[in-house]
Each structure stands twice: as structure tokens, then as C-alpha cells.
Amino acid sequence: MVAILSNIFGLSNLELIEDAVQDTFLNASVKWRDKLPENPEAWLMQAAKNRVIDIFRQINAEKKRQLKISHGAITLEINDFFLDHEVADSQLRMIFVACHPAFSKKEQIAFALKAIAGFSMKEIAAALLQKEETIKKRLVRARQKIKDLNITLAYPTQNEIQARMSGVLQIIYLIFNEGFHSTKPDMLVSKDLCGEAIRLCKLLLLKENFRSGSLYALFALLCFHASRLDSKLANNEIIDLEHQDRSKWYLPLIVLGNDALRKSVEFDDQSVYHIEAAIASEHVKAIDFKHTNWQRILAFYDEMYQIMPADSIILSKATIYLQINQLKKAKTALDKINGEALNQRKYLLNGCYADYYEKSGDIVKAIEELNFAIHACANVFEKHYLENKKNQLLTKSKGVTRRER
């Protein structure tokens, strides 16, 4: 809706547009209290069209121009913007605008997550491992640049496409990540966001001049991860990868991912998405957890770290060292990580330390790390998962004490 309205009124009216969309959803929250409409999406679109006309009147009134827009050519033009192909086109335009070279890389991502995916400040901050106040400032700067430079909702020229594409792919990746591992306290997974990221990938793949090896690799990665969504939760409990029911993994998405991964190597460009997709592929093709090719996955992480050094990659490697009982290497990796750099995900480091100490036989230290993780974790599902692990260790500790006696 934001993309469509921006296409009609221009990005210079973005704040007004966001307010209008907010009004539409507020209106829905009131009118839908007793009964949902038969087609909620159609209702929202119709309400948005009506709000478009209201805004049109306001804008023209401010300019002291009176136009009759209830009927006739203007209304027909507005309706045209809401056709399916125009909706898709507006969203693609918006995502390329978000990656305009006038914006810094950080401004691009913050703007896109707000304008395209509708992320809250907190969600953007969590996705980028930044403070909310920092994100707010970036959004203010981005909107001011739109006005100052008169940036329009237009596709980049052919020779500018590839320069912006890396930003576009990163935005889609972050949208999916928020769906796959939500930062909201009462939600672990948002299938809607995962589906939105996959849909945006598909929209790009439909246009031949946007296709690249990186785009196909990202699409493969999203398909592989999305195939496991139904197995991540059972009876409102987190199921870790080791204990997931692999019969619930959705085969058509895995097949689609395999096909996209094969196509990705037909292009000249290579990216981190190729490596991440290859790692995800190793997981989905393993018949069970213990038959996962951990050495191959470790090699992929080493390759990824060379391209993009990050504490999160070291944490992933440490987790694998624990899986294959290379405890010394796991501890060395964990000690290299700057926990503050993980920001809202710091509890994952504590959780990994807890696993290390448990495997090393130091139950007291393991429980201590789990206490840190539980305190830092905001998500109720993850907090409950960590509390269960702690209770299991406490039970184990009591059993050891009794045997010693």
C-alpha cells in the first residue's frame, strides 16, 4: 500500500502516505471487531483507494486547486494502480529506490525495512544489531534526501541495476530473517514475512534483466529455510534442528531450492548467498541430524568468513565444533566473539557457552550461562526453551550429587 500510494503521489509525500496506511489499518481494527470481511485484503485495498482520494483532495486543496475526482479519468487512473501487475511493479520500484546511491548503505536498509516490509523501529534495530535511536536518525536522513534530491519512484537505468542489486538482495534477506527468527517477544516465526521475501525474489526473477547468480542463490536459500518452518514449533515449544521431524520438511520447496541453486552457478557472479544456500542444502539433504556433513559445512563457513568476517559466523562455527565434540576449538572460537557486537542476539552466545560447559562437564558454569541467556532473551518461546534446558541441567546436577553421596 505504501508503494502504491508513493507511486501515485510521489516519495516526497512519504510521511503523509505512511499516515494514510496507518489510518486504513486503524479503521480496519475498529470495523473488524465483530466480524471479518469475506476478503480482508480486498477490503484493505478498497479502503486504501478511498484514502488515496481523500489525500488527493487534501493535497489539491492546499494548492488551492479544486478537482472533481470522484468520477472520471483520475479515478480510473487511481484504480489502475491497484491492478496486480501494478502492485508488483510499485513494490519493485520502491525496493530499488531504497537502494538509491544517495543513501548510505545503512540508510538504504533501514529505509527499505520500514517502507517496504513495515518493520517497527525495534525490529529494524534488531535486524541490524543497532540501537533504535540510531535507526530513527537514519530514517530521518533518508526521507530528507528524498525531498532534497527529488528522488522519484523509478527504476534505475540498465547500467545502474547491478550496483543497486546487492542492497536489494540484502533487504530481502533481512525481511526473511525477521520472519524465520522473529524479534517480537510473543512470536518465533512469521510465515507472512518469509512468504513476502520469497515473493519479492520471484518478482525480481520474472524480469530477465534483474536475474543473477546471487539472486538465484538467495532464492534457493530462502526456499531451503522455508521448507523447515512447520517443524520449528510443536505444541508451542521450540524444536531444535537435531530433534525436528524431517518428514514435515516441505519437499516442493526443497526441490525448488535445488533447481535455483543449480541455476545460480550458470552466472558469472558469486556471493555469500551461494555459500549460505550450499550450507542450507547440506542440512536439507541429510537423512538425519547425525548424518549431516559437518566438515563440509565448516569449510563453507571458513569460506564465508573470508568474504565477510563477522562474529555471527564464528558463533555458527563454534556451534558446529560442539556438535562434533571438538570442544577446544569451540572454546577458542567462542572466546573470539565480541558479545556486544551481537546486540539483541547476545543471548545466543551465552547459550552456546552453556552447551560448551555442559559438554565439558561443568554443569554449574552451564547453568550460569543459561541464566545470562534467559535474562537477555526477550522472546517468550526462546526463553521457555532456555528455561527447559536449565531445568534439565538442574535435574542432572542433582542426580550427580546423589550418586556422589
Gap between the Cα atoms of 363 and 369, Å rounded: 10
Which residues lie below 8 Å from residue 339, measured CB to CB, with a gap of 6+? 346, 349, 350
pLDDT single digits (tens) 6-17: 777 777 778 778
pLDDT single digits (tens) 169-187: 988 998 898 889 877 778 8
Gap between the Cα atoms of 291 and 115, Å rounded: 43
Residue type, 207: K
pLDDT single digits (tens) 273-311: 999 999 999 999 999 999 999 999 999 999 999 999 999
Whether 5 and 20 have beta carbons less than 8 Å apart is answered as: yes
How many Cα atoms within 13 Å fall on the side-chain side of residue 338? 6
- Determine what percent of the chain is predicted with pLDDT higher than 70: 90
- Determine what percent of the chain is predicted with pLDDT higher than 90: 45
Gap between the Cα atoms of 44 and 1, Å rounded: 9
Residue 364 pLDDT grade (very low, low, confident, very high; cuts 50, 70, 90):
very high
Which pLDDT does position 272 carry in this prediction? 95
Average pLDDT over residues 355-360: 96
pLDDT single digits (tens) 74-128: 444 555 544 455 556 777 888 888 888 888 888 888 888 888 777 788 878 877 7
What backbone phi and psi angles, to 5 degrees, belong to 32? -95, 10
Q: Parallel, antiparallel, or unpaired: how do β-strands 233-234 and 237-238 relate?
A: antiparallel
Task: Enumerate the β-bridge partners of residue 234.
Answer: 237
Residue extents of the structural domains in the chain: 336-405
Gap between the Cα atoms of 187 and 378, Å rounded: 10
- Which of the pair, 373 or 405, is modelled with greater confidence? 373
Look at residue 67 and tell me whether its pLDDT is greater than 70: no
Residues found in the chain: 405
Which pLDDT does position 399 carry in this prediction? 60
Which pLDDT does position 61 carry in this prediction? 64
Gap between the Cα atoms of 70 and 53, Å rounded: 8
Average pLDDT over residues 299-324: 95
- Which of the pair, 216 or 61, is modelled with greater confidence? 216
Which pLDDT does position 235 carry in this prediction? 84
Give the pTM.
0.78
SS3 track for the chain: CHHHHHHHHCHHHHHHHHHHHHHHHHHHHHHCCCCCCCCHHHHHHHHHHHHHHHHHHHHHHHCCCCCCCCCCHHHHHHHHCCCHHHHHHHHHHHHHHHCCCCCCHHHHHHHHHHHCCCCCHHHHHHHHCCCHHHHHHHHHHHHHHHHHHCCCCCCCCHHHHHHHHHHHHHHHHHHHHHHHCCCCCCCCCCHHHHHHHHHHHHHHHCCHHHCCHHHHHHHHHHHHHHCCHHHCEECCEECCHHHCCHHHCCHHHHHHHHHHHHHHCCCCCCCHHHHHHHHHHHHHHCCCHHHCCHHHHHHHHHHHHHHCCCHHHHHHHHHHHHHCCCHHHHHHHHHHCCHHHHHHHHHHHHHHHHHHHHHHCCHHHHHHHHHHHHHHCCCHHHHHHHHHHHHHHHHHHHHHHHHHC
Gap between the Cα atoms of 181 and 178, Å rounded: 5
Average pLDDT over residues 51-62: 72
Residue 331 pLDDT grade (very low, low, confident, very high; cuts 50, 70, 90):
very high
Look at residue 34 and tell me whether its pLDDT is greater than 80: yes
Which pLDDT does position 334 carry in this prediction? 97
Residue 226 pLDDT grade (very low, low, confident, very high; cuts 50, 70, 90):
very high
Q: Name the least confident of 150-154, 188-192, 285-289.
A: 150-154
Which residues lie below 8 Å from residue 217, measured CB to CB, with a gap of 6+? 260, 261, 264, 271, 273, 274, 276, 277
Look at residue 400 and tell me whether its pLDDT is greater than 60: no
Gap between the Cα atoms of 214 and 297, Å rounded: 19
Distance (Å) of CA 322 to CA 326, 328, 362, 370: 6, 9, 15, 16
Average pLDDT over residues 311-321: 96
Whether 212 and 263 have beta carbons less than 8 Å apart is answered as: no
Most confident segment among 34-48, 111-125, 199-213, 300-314: 300-314
Look at residue 62 and tell me whether its pLDDT is greater than 60: no
Residue 389 pLDDT grade (very low, low, confident, very high; cuts 50, 70, 90):
very high
Average pLDDT over residues 222-232: 95
Look at residue 362 and tell me whether its pLDDT is greater than 90: yes
Give the rounded distance of the alpha carbon of 401 from its chain centre.
Answer: 45
Gap between the Cα atoms of 304 and 95, Å rounded: 26
Look at residue 203 and tell me whether its pLDDT is greater than 60: yes
Residue 65 pLDDT grade (very low, low, confident, very high; cuts 50, 70, 90):
very low
Which pLDDT does position 68 carry in this prediction? 46
Q: Name the least confident of 30-44, 257-271, 307-321.
A: 30-44
